[in-house]
Structure 1
Amino acid sequence: MRSDPLHCCHPRYRLLAISASALYLLATSALSSGCATSKKSTRAVSYSQTAASNYRKGQAELKDENFAEARKYFSFVKNRFPFSRYSTLAELRLADSLFAEEKFTAAIDAYKLFVKFHPTHPQVLDGYAEFRVAEGYVKQIPGDWFLIPPGHEKDQSATRQALAELVRFSRRHRRSKHAKEAAKLQRKVLRRLIDHELYVARFYLDRDKPKATILRLEGILRRYPNAGADPEVMMLLGKTYLKLNRREKAQATFASLVKKYPKDANAAKAKLYLRYLAGR
């Protein structure tokens, strides 16, 4: 008796089965909550006879932001046509639908699975899937809302995770068409982390803990060099040294600020402090 090829023990088939199962779980989980978050109510769909036709229907639903319906089509393609090229594309579109619906945690998991099981796919090699992972983490960073503390005053665990993913992407995909946008996001995330550190530094300074302030500020200069915040950090650092009567350190910090960033607004303030220190 001939064995069913779909139950072959070849590693390739096992990988496909695992990949399909994992994506199916993600998709069905999203479908179960899709009614509450999709712009339109979920409804029955009409499946076609070919992978290509069902894939196109899923694309159309995704374009119209009918996320639950789109996932039905993409899941159908994956389960009914596992060896079609549209099966792999449907897997990626499942992740895209989750991302578009702002289900970022599920989307991140889906993109990571896609990268794991399809490392040679063009949209893995060009960085698309991994960029979406990094972007998903950025989207989960707490924002600023009226009447609650600004985002930089909150816990920054999500921000650090986003930065780690963006750094990882930039190292792996320097020539990707997404590299420019990733660099832009990385600067934004870095600024959020620096703002948080400055907030904590000022918090300590306001509570008369200048030594703790100095540790925070020196940490910013050490961990985030050339991130665009050095003049602001150096100005506050110099003033804090003065508060501790560490005149030589203050003078060296102000002088370095003027030398490195002569056109920055903080350089003009630093010159005033240098004149003050020279006259004493």
Structure 2
Amino acid sequence: MKILFKFLIITAIVSLLLSCGGKEAVKKEEFDPVVYLKKADELVSKKEYEEARKLLLEIKNRESAKEYAPLAQLKIADSYLKEDEPELAITEYRRFIELYPESTYAPYAQYSIGMAYFRQIEGPERGAGTAQKALNEFLKLEKMYPRHPYGDILPLRIQKCRNIIAEGELIIGKFYHKKGSYTAAIGRFEGIVKNYPDFKNLDETLYLLVDSYKNLNMLDKAKQYLKLLKEKFPDSQFAKKAEGFRFQ
């Protein structure tokens, strides 16, 4: 009986110690969003994107103060961009702006949407549509967050998008012009003159407009664009080439 009693005492003590140890372990593994963010960054640097996102999602779901939840959402979007998944990144950046439109990180999220499209531009032949999407997002950034910190680089991004879109229109217009579909060509060329007056190949566009109207025997229009070509680009090779036009 004494032996049994001693055994029960020892068992109770061991159980108590184990219980205390368990609580200690739980305390050591308590949720810490800062630690989770650091671990997520480490996983991203190792290209373990899915595991990183699991930690970031846990921050969003568990952090009661919601102090780090916005940053976790932003890092989820960033992780998709680094994983070369631009469409998924765009979705997550949009979600960030919807959830935290007044956040100091919101301009970064909007700029990143534009850049996700911008990096997909392949050239004027196939990239004009993507350039238009990038341009729309960059203009949205200017409208929504006029005090954004991208004042030096954003105008260059916008100009490149505009040039690519205009160049795409010029390629299509030249295709119609070569086929003799002058009315269709004029639609493209005049769209460039109206919407992209700073286009780098505007002199060529004006020359082709003169030629298109001349071929349609719409001489007043042809003369109008010839005058504009000579005024804006007097030293251009296309202005000199246009001197050979004869209007009767």
TM-score interval, normalised by the smaller of the two chains: 0.7 to 0.9
TM-score normalised according to structure 1 size:
0.69
Matched, 1:122 2:104: yes
Q: Give the aligned partner of residue 144 of structure 2.
A: 172
Once the two structures are superposed, the pairs formed by residues 65-214 of structure 1 within 5 Å of their partners are 65-124=47-106, 127-141=107-121, 143=122, 151-154=123-126, 156-214=128-186
Change (3 A) 1:63 1:82: farther
Of 193, 198, 202, which aligns to 1:230?
202
Q: Decide whether the 8 Å contact of 1:204 with 1:212 is kept in 2.
A: yes
1:163 positional shift: 2.2
Q: Decide whether the 8 Å contact of 1:237 with 1:250 is kept in 2.
A: yes
1:155 positional shift: 7.7
List runs of 5+ in structure 2 lacking aligned partners: 1-28
Change (3 A) 1:181 1:94: same
1:90 positional shift: 1.1
Change (3 A) 1:276 1:92: closer
1:55 positional shift: 0.8
Aligned residue pairs total 220
Alpha-carbon distance in structure 1 between the residues aligned to 2:90 and 2:216? 47
Q: Give the aligned partner of residue 36 of structure 2.
A: 54
Q: Decide whether the 8 Å contact of 2:173 with 2:184 is kept in 1.
A: yes
1:107 positional shift: 1.1
Q: Give the aligned partner of residue 261 of structure 1.
A: 233
Alpha-carbon distance in structure 1 between the residues aligned to 2:244 and 2:88? 58
Q: Give the aligned partner of residue 30 of structure 1.
A: none
Q: Give the aligned partner of residue 35 of structure 1.
A: none
Q: Give the aligned partner of residue 274 of structure 1.
A: 243
What amino acid maps onto 1:91 in structure 2?
A: Q
Does the residue aligned with 2:199 lie in a helix, a strand or coil?
Answer: coil
Question: Alpha carbon RMSD of aligned pairs, Å?
Answer: 2.5
What amino acid maps onto 2:132 in structure 1?
A: R
1:156 positional shift: 4.6
Q: Decide whether the 8 Å contact of 2:203 with 2:239 is kept in 1.
A: no
Alpha-carbon distance in structure 2 between the residues aligned to 1:213 and 1:248? 18
What amino acid maps onto 2:231 in structure 1?
A: K
1:27-63, CA deviations, whole angstroms, 9 ceiling, x for partnerless residues?
Answer: xxxxxxxxxxxxxxxxxxxx77411111111122223
TM-score normalised according to structure 2 size:
0.78
Q: Decide whether the 8 Å contact of 2:129 with 2:165 is kept in 1.
A: no
Q: Give the aligned partner of residue 8 of structure 2.
A: none
Q: Give the aligned partner of residue 3 of structure 2.
A: none
1:70 positional shift: 2.0
Structure (1 or 2) with the larger CA radius of gyration: 2
Of 204, 218, 222, which aligns to 1:250?
222
Change (3 A) 1:200 1:247: same
1:233 positional shift: 0.9
Alpha-carbon distance in structure 2 between the residues aligned to 1:217 and 1:196? 11
